Structure formats: structure tokens, C-alpha cells
């Protein structure tokens, strides 16, 4: 069994033409930093849950991604964030949706799992719980990003919503293929064979009506079970919700005896793609084997394991 950590920073139309050397270096350094932070916990005997939380917090603190500090703007010009964590040992989970001014939503999700007696909290109630737990809040200014602000301004007076930002495509709306998804996530297998998965996102630009995607929904965007696998998804959330993607991968392993690779390929490359779902996932099984699986042009991703594997990548292979 390998001790393994895998992370993602979003999937979509990520191609060499939309990147430059400086941007590649920024993403490489960021992903590597998150990998190192999470893997150090695993290497020192820490739990998969703690490693996942630590890696995601690094990505939430980086404005490159649509999570935490880099979250996109809603229709009202606010930041509403979602996150979830799941422990494969006993299927315990914590999730939050529509939270505001929480510096690290993944920490709040962990608090829900450990201390609330519940699984899923939302909005103001989740904020009250964060206060009770003494979690760190941040002012609106902390979450302000000029690039995302300009992108929101371009579509705020329309009924369009945008899956994520792209510098040269401020008109990008839900059906436009020229976009990327900046949701972040991590999965891990620790030295005891325990699995964990976590996901964090700012959702869609110009989203309305308190929209929630797949990221905080156990079984759709996030899932972990020691008997099968740990999964974190990124993509067009409505499709991932309808396909119950993360749990579907686990079910194919549990009930059909598929390998991690076979199950991921079936769900992402076949079932999800058949009805228009774009994006991908990262996964690890109880043996520490990992998978990067996506049907988009690319996915920001990285992996580090006790078998000497260490890799950061962006584009399709």
C-alpha cells in the first residue's frame, strides 16, 4: 500500500494557448506547495483527513483558484462558498454551502463533521456555527479579485452565469466551451489505509437564488469510503449532481468489482459525457493508487506518494 495525496485546482479548457510561462510557473509553485503541505502530514504519520484539509487550505488561500480567497462573485456581487470533507473510515462527513466571509470553508466543513452533530449546514446558520467554533473570518476586501470582478461586471446585468473566469473571454457563459473550473480538492490514503476526500469552491459567477453545486454534496462532488475509494470532483456541478458522480465511482468498484481506473473511466468518459457533463475528478483507492480522470481539455492537478511518485500537470495527456 502506498501513502498518497492527490490534489486538483479545477478542470476545463486548459490548453497551452491560454497559458504563458509565468502563469505555468505560478500554478506549478502553487500546486507543489499544496502537495508538500499535505504530504508532509502523511509522511509524519498524520491522518488522511488532516492531509486533505491542509492541502485544500493552501489552495483556498491562493487567489488563482475559485475557492476561498479567489471565489467568484454572485449576482449580488457577494462571495458564497461551498465545501465538504469526508472520512472513509466511518463515512463521517461535514459540508457547508452558501457561507460568507469564512477564510477557509474547508475548516468549517471539518468543524461540522466533528462538532455539530450534523452533516450539512448552510448560509447564516453555518456562519453562526463558525463563530461558535472560533473559526477565522475575513472581510469582503480579502476576497476581492480584480480579474473576477471585471468578469462579473461584464455579465451582471444579464441572466447569464459563468462557470469560471478566463482572461480573454469575459462573455463566457454556461454553454460556452471556452472556460475552466477553479474548484479545488484533495484525496489521500494514509499509512493506515484510511481514505479521505475534500472539495471547496466559490461556485459560478453571477449565480442567483442561492445556487449550490456538487462540491459540498456528499456522493456527488465528494466521497470517501475505505472499502473503495476517495473522490473529489470539479466541473459543471449541475451534471455532477444529476449523475451522482463520486458515489457512482465507488458503487462500480463495490458492486461490480471494477478497478479504480475502470470505474473512473466509465463514469467520467462515458456516463457523464453522454448527457453533456464536462469536468473531471481525482481519486485514490485503499491501495494508494491514484487516478486523474477528466473529459475536458485539461485539469490542474498533482500527486505525491511514498513510492516516489511526484507530479504536477495541467494539460491532457
| 76 vs 208: CA distance, rounded Å | 8
Q: Answer for the pair 263, 219: CB distance below 8 angstroms, yes or no.
A: no
* Residues facing 232 on adjacent strands: 222, 282
CA-CA distance, 244 to 266, in Å (whole number)?
A: 13
Please list, residue by residue across 12-32, b when 16 or more beta carbons sit within 10 angstroms of its beta carbon and e when fewer do: bbbeeebbeeeeeeebeebbb
The H or E element spanning position 292 is strand 290-294
Angle between helices 21-43 and 48-60 (to 10 degrees): 150
4 is catalytic: no
40 Cβ partners below 8 Å, 6+ apart? none
Neighbours of 269 (CB within 10 A): 14
- The 3-state secondary structure of 64-107, one letter per residue: CCCCHHHCCCCCCCCCCEEEEEEECCCCEEEEEEEECCECCHHH
Sequence-separated contacts (24+) of 250-257 with Cβ below 8 Å: 250/223, 250/225, 253/228, 253/229, 253/285, 254/225, 254/227, 254/228
4, 74, 183, 199: which is the annotated catalytic residue?
183
Per-position b or e across 84-111, b if 16+ CB within 10 A of its CB: bbbbbbeeebbbbbbbbbbbbbbbbbbb
Residues annotated catalytic, as ranges: 183
Amino acid at each position: 500500500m502506498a501513502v498518497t495525496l492527490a490534489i486538483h485546482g479545477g478542470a476545463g479548457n486548459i490548453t497551452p494557448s491560454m497559458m504563458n510561462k509565468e502563469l505555468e510557473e505560478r500554478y506549478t509553485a502553487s500546486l507543489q506547495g499544496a502537495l508538500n503541505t499535505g504530504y508532509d502530514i502523511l509522511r509524519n504519520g498524520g491522518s488522511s483527513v488532516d492531509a486533505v484539509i491542509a492541502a485544500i487550505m493552501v489552495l483556498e488561500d491562493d487567489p488563482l483558484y475559485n475557492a476561498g480567497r479567489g471565489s467568484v462573485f454572485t449576482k449580488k456581487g457577494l462571495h458564497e462558498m461551498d465545501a465538504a470533507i469526508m472520512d472513509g473510515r466511518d463515512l463521517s462527513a461535514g459540508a457547508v454551502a452558501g457561507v460568507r466571509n469564512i477564510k477557509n470553508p474547508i475548516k468549517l466543513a471539518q468543524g461540522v463533521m466533528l462538532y455539530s452533530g450534523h452533516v450539512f449546514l448552510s448560509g447564516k446558520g453555518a456562519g453562526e456555527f463558525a463563530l461558535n467554533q472560533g473559526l477565522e473570518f475575513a472581510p469582503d476586501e480579502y476576497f476581492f479579485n480584480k480579474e473576477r470582478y471585471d468578469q462579473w461586471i461584464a455579465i451582471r446585468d444579464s441572466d447569464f452565469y459563468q462557470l469560471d473566469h478566463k482572461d480573454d473571454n469575459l462573455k463566457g457563459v454556461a454553454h460556452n466551451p471556452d472556460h475552466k473550473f477553479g474548484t479545488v480538492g484533495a484525496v489521500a490514503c494514509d499509512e493506515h489505509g484510511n481514505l479521505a476526500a475534500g472539495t471547496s469552491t466559490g461556485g459560478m459567477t453571477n449565480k442567483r437564488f442561492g445556487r449550490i453545486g456538487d462540491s459540498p454534496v456528499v456522493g456527488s462532488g465528494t466521497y470517501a469510503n475505505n472499502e473503495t475509494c476517495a473522490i473529489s470532483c470539479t466541473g459543471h456541478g449541475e451534471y455532477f449532481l444529476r449523475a451522482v458522480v463520486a458515489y457512482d465511482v465507488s458503487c462500480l468498484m463495490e458492486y461490480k468489482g471494477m478497478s479504480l481506473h475502470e470505474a473512473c473511466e466509465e463514469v467520467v468518459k462515458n456516463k457523464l459525457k453522454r448527457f453533456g457533463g464536462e469536468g473531471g475528478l481525482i481519486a485514490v483507492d485503499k491501495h494508494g493508487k491514484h487516478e486523474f480522470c477528466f473529459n475536458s481539455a485539461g485539469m490542474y492537478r498533482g500527486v505525491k506518494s511514498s513510492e516516489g511518485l511526484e507530479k504536477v500537470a495541467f494539460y491532457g495527456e
